Amino acid sequence: MSIRDRYLAYADAFEQTYVDDDWSRLAQYFTADAVYEGEPLASGRDALLARLKNSVNGFDRRMDSRTVEFETPMVEGNELRVRWKGTYTKRGLPDLVISGVEIAEFRDAAIARLRGEFDPGAEKTMRDWMAQHGKALQ
């Protein structure tokens, strides 16, 4: 299976996990020593999965809906990059639309490093939206 196909399988499994909260299904897509780069840094598969779950629970699940669109992933060597755009809605609040890129570095058929980067301006958009409306998510 190619890196692209493996990542797409992971992305599909992530969406299933978003629905049923079964994070164990994602373990197969990461190396035991996988790292999530970002704040907070997560080292090791279990810590990485906990980081993803905390992120989803801390933001996505507090919204009424979330729609994430992905462009075609680009692969160079053992690295995959995919551009994304997310639209988050909460009744009574303006939609939040942010975008960025997710970068996955593979070792064999598993993700060894994962990180996300906001597009220029998206981090400010998120920060400003949270400053104005974040209390409604509590």
Number of domains in the chain: 1
Tell me the percentage of the chain whose pLDDT exceeds 70: 100
Whether the model pTM is above 0.85: yes
138 pLDDT above the threshold of 90:
no
Q: Which CATH number covers residue 82? A: 3.10.450.50
Reported as a single tens digit per residue, the pLDDT across 33-55 is 999 998 889 999 999 999 999 99
Q: Is 91 helix (H, G, I), strand (E, B) or coil?
A: coil
Print the domain residue range for 57.
3-137
10 Å CB burial of residue 138 (0-12, 13-18, 19+) is exposed
The Cα–Cα gap between 122 and 34 comes to: 26
In the chain, % of residues over pLDDT 90:
93
**Residue 119 confidence class, pLDDT cut points 50, 70, 90:** very high
